[in-house]
Structure 1
Amino acid sequence: MLEHIEVILRSITSFSLLLIGARFLGKQTISQMTMFDFVAAISLGAISANLAFNTSIKAHHTVISFAIYIVIIFLIAIISLKNRKGRKFLAGDPTIVIQNGKVLEGNMKKMRYTLDYLNQQLRERDVFNIEEVLFAIVETNGTLTVLKKPQYRNVTRQDLMITVMSEQRLPIELIMDGEIIKENLDQNDLSFSWLELELRKRNLTKHEVVYAVIAANGNMYVDTFRDHIHSPIDKE
């Protein structure tokens, strides 16, 4: 029974350490994982797993090892931030795989990057004809960046010289899950009375609203708990 309790406590500690480590190292480890980040994440995961269930290893030894890894990763990240050569060594360089509609087989071979995977990545970016591509670059985190030739790019309002309403701010969430977000009201000089007035214009009270947001163009979107849809498509 004592062993079960020890495993439970070690598991909670392991998860907490992983969470703290991830917060300390920042979001880049998750969203822009390079080769170095991948190795670091695996190492931290292995140490945390041993802390959770390997009772033959003293818990404080594992915690010390985890802390040392976190410090090493953090210091290397600082070096990468300050030193371009260090960053290049750890993360590598982006690699061009398509230039002016031509596949660069030599570059792909060096990365062991197959044509099947290249085509998949292109299709995910709505490209079904390689001739449309001016440049395709494999970034250091493995994603494919595609620049189409000018004649194949999407037309923008600027191209058509259509007047565009300026947007100076991000959307402002006012109500989330039925709760008024007071901080957002205060930060944008909005009052409860103003919000209640806007809801009354829509014949609503705050208790009926699950989500309310002011879009970048100034329009207010409101969603209620009762959607008044007789046959929901996604009903389970």
Structure 2
Amino acid sequence: MDGILITIYRTVLGFAFLLLLMRLLGKKQLGELTFFNYATGIAMGNIIGDMVVHKEITVLESLAALSFWAVSVFLIEFLNKHSPLLTKLTKGQPSILIKKGQIMQKEIKKHQLSMDDLLMLLRMNSVFDIQEVDYAIMEPNGQLSVLKKPLKDSVTKEDLNIPPKSGQYLPTMLVSNGEKIEQAFHEYNLTNEWFEIQLQRAGYQTINEIFFAQLTEDGEVFFVMKEKSS
């Protein structure tokens, strides 16, 4: 029974101290979940966990470790304001995934993203057709910032009193890195012969030349050619 009470005491004390430190660190730790913030949260959580589970570690030692970690975070945040290089190392920097409408394939691979991941992030920004995007920037906290092309974002049909018209298809990925998405073909009853015709119309010979292909609302296909490896 005494062991349970000691565990509860350590848990409550550790939680209260951690909550105090997080309040002191500010909302920035929660609002900007960079790699540095993520590592900080995990480390502090592990210190509290060790204090609760491992009785040979004294409460004073655990609280001292937490305090030292918090002071280190304050110091690094202070230095970040005066050192762009340190900021780059601890927080990273934005990466352009789509630039002037062009998909930056090397950047996507560098971040270990698939086209499925990119399309999902675009949909979370209310963009279903990748052709509407002028710039897409991966922020250090993992969020995607999207700037639409001016012609796609300036005037709405409501502004011109044009009745809305539903597209024939939902923009859907057909090819990712040279591989056909069979489920998409089955869903819309698309045949290999139809796709071969679309390839030839776009000036391609085989699917191996294609990095990405998307079925658009009007039934056309938007192709992105593979970048030549340097």
Shorter-chain TM-score bucket reads: 0.5 to 0.7
Which residue number in structure 1 is paired with residue 146 of structure 2? 146
Which residue number in structure 1 is paired with residue 58 of structure 2? 58
CA distance in 1: counterparts of 2:76 and 2:55, whole angstroms:
31
CA distance in 1: counterparts of 2:33 and 2:83, whole angstroms:
19
Q: 2:30 aligns to what SS in structure 1?
A: helix
Which residue number in structure 1 is paired with residue 175 of structure 2? none
Which residue number in structure 2 is paired with residue 28 of structure 1? 28
TM-score (norm 1): 0.64
When the two structures are aligned, how many residues end up with a matched partner?
A: 158
Check the 8 A contact 1:13/1:52 in 2, yes or no: no
CA distance in 2: counterparts of 1:52 and 1:114, whole angstroms:
40
Which residue number in structure 2 is paired with residue 88 of structure 1? 88
Give, in angstroms, the shift of residue 155 of structure 1.
Answer: 4.4
Unaligned runs of 5+ in 1: 161-236
CA distance in 2: counterparts of 1:144 and 1:24, whole angstroms:
28
CA distance in 1: counterparts of 2:155 and 2:48, whole angstroms:
50
CA distance in 1: counterparts of 2:32 and 2:46, whole angstroms:
21
Which residue number in structure 1 is paired with residue 136 of structure 2? 136
Cα offsets for 1:114-150 (capped at 9, x unmatched)? 2111100001111111111000000010100000001
Which residue number in structure 2 is paired with residue 15 of structure 1? 15
Counterpart residue identity of residue 67, structure 1: S
Cα offsets for 1:173-224 (capped at 9, x unmatched)? xxxxxxxxxxxxxxxxxxxxxxxxxxxxxxxxxxxxxxxxxxxxxxxxxxxx
Structure 1 residues 152-191: aligned runs within 5 Å: 152-153=152-153, 155=155
Give, in angstroms, the shift of residue 100 of structure 1.
Answer: 2.1
TM-score (norm 2): 0.65
Give, in angstroms, the shift of residue 154 of structure 1.
Answer: 5.3
Cα offsets for 1:145-183 (capped at 9, x unmatched)? 000001111549xx99xxxxxxxxxxxxxxxxxxxxxxx
Check the 8 A contact 1:34/1:140 in 2, yes or no: yes
Structure number with higher relative contact order (C-alpha < 8 Å, ≥ 6 residues apart): 2
Q: 2:113 aligns to what SS in structure 1?
A: coil
Flag as ranges the 4+ runs of structure 1 deviating above 4 A: none
Which residue number in structure 2 is paired with residue 176 of structure 1? none
Unaligned runs of 5+ in 2: 161-230
Give, in angstroms, the shift of residue 50 of structure 1.
Answer: 1.4
CA distance in 1: counterparts of 2:114 and 2:14, whole angstroms:
38
Question: Would you say 1:108 and 2:108 are equivalent positions?
Answer: yes
Q: Over aligned residue pairs, what C-alpha RMSD do you find?
A: 1.7
Counterpart residue identity of residue 13, structure 1: L
